Chain A
Amino acid sequence: MLAIDAAAYRSPWRRHHPAAKALLAGGLLGCALLLPPWPGAPVTAAVTLAVALCWARMPPRTLLRAARIPLGFVLTGALTFLVTVGPDGIGWADGGAGRAGEVVARCGAAVLCQVLFAGTTPLADALPRLTRLGLPAALVEVTALVYRLLFVVLDTARRTRQAQAGRLGDRSLRAAWRSLGGLGSAVFVRSFDRARRLEAGLAGRGYTGSLPVVVAEIPLRTPFLAAAPLPAVAAASVTFALGNLL
């Protein structure tokens, strides 16, 4: 279905507490954002990549493909650094390539940290724990429902799209628009139908307004928690050492 999500459930880190993983990935993210981009960003990226591939054993394909979507945005945005627009019109920017490189490198490192966390932390483990952070139960329950329903609706949308293609719904631009309108409204109607049916189904299970669940216990204080800050410390140390050398 969604590659990052599926990888998270298969991850060997599944048994570690989400907070410990947040500490690990968050520390690296902090390095990506706060250290001087050169050499901080490449160092952080390298450390994150090593952690993701060797320690968390994320499938390289998933990692690579996940990075593709933000890359489009990052590269398009970076183009703007190459030129300058001032009172004299458009011209090549001095040092623009350097600035673009810095932003792309920092972003690349940060996206890797993001995918490291998302690809090892199943939302099923993380979402119900959000109430412990003080978020209101209503918000957490709606969020959990969105998470459950989005896969059901995504499946519907995918099959409807296939059915439209089968009936030549992508043959011309006109057909594609007709398809998209039909798909949008079909998905809309069926999302709300889902809500209505789930309401009836849950009423039978005793739903009267709240959706309490018991979450599997995951121990927080483990050797993993102790090791969690180490990658960030390593990235920072190497960056400073290299910074002094260069």
Chain B
Amino acid sequence: MHIAEGYLPVSHAIAWSVAAAPFVVHGVVTLSRRVAADPESKLLLGACGAFCFVLSALKIPSVTGSCSHPTGTGLGAVLFRPPIMTVLGTITLVFQALLLAHGGLTTLGANVFSMAVIGPWVGYGCYLLTRRLGLLPAVFAGAFAADLVTYCVTSAQLALAFPDPQGGFAGALAKFGGVFAVTQLPLAVSEGLLTVLVVRLLRTS
């Protein structure tokens, strides 16, 4: 679920871009250093970005709504650490906006903040916290949390932009959270399960 082009008022679009910018810059610096130290990693990162894009094009069985897809940010954060995942997530979002009209360019900052900044960091944090329960539970927790928190942040962004005339921010959060929960909650569970399936298959092979 990405915020579509033109959905946010201009002031919000700018504010979220400013909020996301330091993370993206930090990520780009990390990525440039890593690539300079190890030129081969450039191709690996390219492949990982391609994987994230393709993953986001997969349809999840039984989850309704055309705007639901896995984000891959939890898995990516575990594999590459959150700063690199912020850059790859940003690249993925740009391609989704330009190749699929999914998400927008003025709303890129807001989408980057929820999916490529908060998602990877929270997912990675949950992975670390649950790591001692075993790899697969930790992977589930990381992917589930990354997906869920992305959806929560997006709902909050929308609620800030369009507070309820009576209930204000809280009322709007309840509304946005409510309508998107139908697709996003099952999706978060799905992405967690899918990531576990993928990691389990990878580990046995």
A181 touches B6 (CB 8 A): no
Tell me, rounded to whole Å, the shortest Cβ–Cβ distance linking B26 to chain A: 13
Q: Does B55 sit within 8 A of A, measured CB to CB? A: yes
Interface centre among B51, B88, B105, B175 (most CB of A within 10 A): B51
Contact status of A138 and B35, CB under 8 A, knowing A72-B66, A85-B175, A114-B101: yes
Interface pair B57/A157, CB less than 8 Å apart: yes
Chain A residue contacts of B172, Cβ below 8 A: 80, 85
Surface stretch bound by A, among B37-45, B119-127, B144-152: B37-45
Cβ of A215 under 8 Å from chain B: no
B174: A residues at CB distance < 8 A: 85
CB neighbours of A81 from chain B (8 A): 162
Nearest CB of B to A146, in Å = 4
Is A235 an interface residue, CB under 8 A from the partner?
no
Instruction: Write the A158-170 contact mask toward B (1 if CB under 8 angstroms, else 0).
Output: 0000000000001
Q: Do the beta carbons of B51 and A187 come within 8 Å of each other? A: yes
A118/B162 in contact, CB under 8 A = no
Which B residues are in CB contact (< 8 Å) with A185? 197-198, 201-202, 205
Interface locus among A49-57, A189-197, A224-232: A189-197
Is the CB–CB distance between A195 and B47 below 8 Å?
yes
Residues of A within 8 A of B39 (CB): 207-210
**Which B16-45 residues have C-beta < 8 A from chain A?**
28, 31-32, 35-36, 39-40, 42-45
Q: Mark A76-94, 1 if CB is under 8 A from B, else 0.
A: 1101110111111001011
A residues less than 8 Å from B97 (CB atoms) = 114, 118
Which residues of the partner chain A approach B49 to less than 8 Å between Cβ atoms?
Answer: 142-143, 145-146, 149-150
Known contacts A146-B49, A153-B51; is A86 also within 8 Å of B102 by CB? no
| Nearest CB in chain A to that of B195: its residue | A184
User: Which residue among B31, B98, B178 has the maximum number of chain A CB atoms within 10 Å of its CB?
Assistant: B98
Report how far A96 CA is from B144 CA in the complex, Å: 34
- Which B residues are CB-close (under 8 A) to A109? 6
Interchain CB contact under 8 A, B4 and A188: no
Q: Is B101 in contact with A188, judged by CB distance below 8 angstroms?
A: no
CA distance A76 to B184 in the complex (A): 13
**Are A69 and B50 in touch, CB under 8 angstroms?**
no
Say if the beta carbon of A176 comes within 8 Å of chain B.
Answer: yes
> Residue A93 contacts which of B31, B165, B176 (CB distance < 8 angstroms)?
B165
Q: Report the minimal beta-carbon distance from B109 to chain A, rounded to whole angstroms.
A: 14
- In the complex, which residues of chain A have a beta carbon less than 8 angstroms from the beta carbon of B105? 29, 114
A55 to B: closest C-beta gap in Å: 20
Question: In whole angstroms, what is the CA distance A187 to B9 when docked?
Answer: 38
Tell me, yes or no, whether A173 is within 8 Å of chain B by CB: yes
Identify the interface centre among B40, B47, B55, B171: most chain A CB within 10 Å of its CB.
B47
Interface residue from A67, A180, A198 paired with B43 (Cβ < 8 Å): A198
Q: How far is the CA of A142 from the CA of B92 in the complex (A)?
A: 11
Is B129 an interface position by the 8 A CB rule? no
Given contacts A80-B176, A136-B32, A185-B202, contact A199 B3 (CB under 8 A): no
> Closest CB-CB distance, A82 to chain B, in whole Å?
10
Bound-state CA distance A194–B50 (Å) is 11
Tell me, yes or no, whether A58 is within 8 Å of chain B by CB.
no
B88-116 CB mask vs A (1 if < 8 Å, else 0) is 10011011011111111110000000000
Residue of chain B at shortest CB distance from A108: B6
CB of B149 to closest CB in A, whole Å: 19
List chain A positions with a Cβ less than 8 A from chain B: 2, 4-5, 29, 32-34, 66-70, 72-74, 76-77, 79-81, 83-88, 91, 93-94, 99, 103, 106-111, 113-115, 117-118, 123, 136, 138-139, 141-150, 152-154, 157, 170, 173, 176-177, 180-185, 187-189, 191-192, 194-196, 198-199, 202, 207-211
Sorted from nearest, which 9 A-B pairs have the closest CB atoms? A110-B6, A145-B46, A86-B166, A181-B197, A146-B49, A209-B39, A195-B47, A149-B50, A85-B171
11 contacts between A and B (CB under 8 A): A70-B5, A73-B67, A103-B7, A114-B105, A117-B98, A136-B28, A146-B46, A157-B58, A170-B61, A183-B58, A207-B39
Known: A142-B35, A143-B94. 4 other contacts (CB 8 A): A146-B88, A182-B201, A191-B50, A194-B50
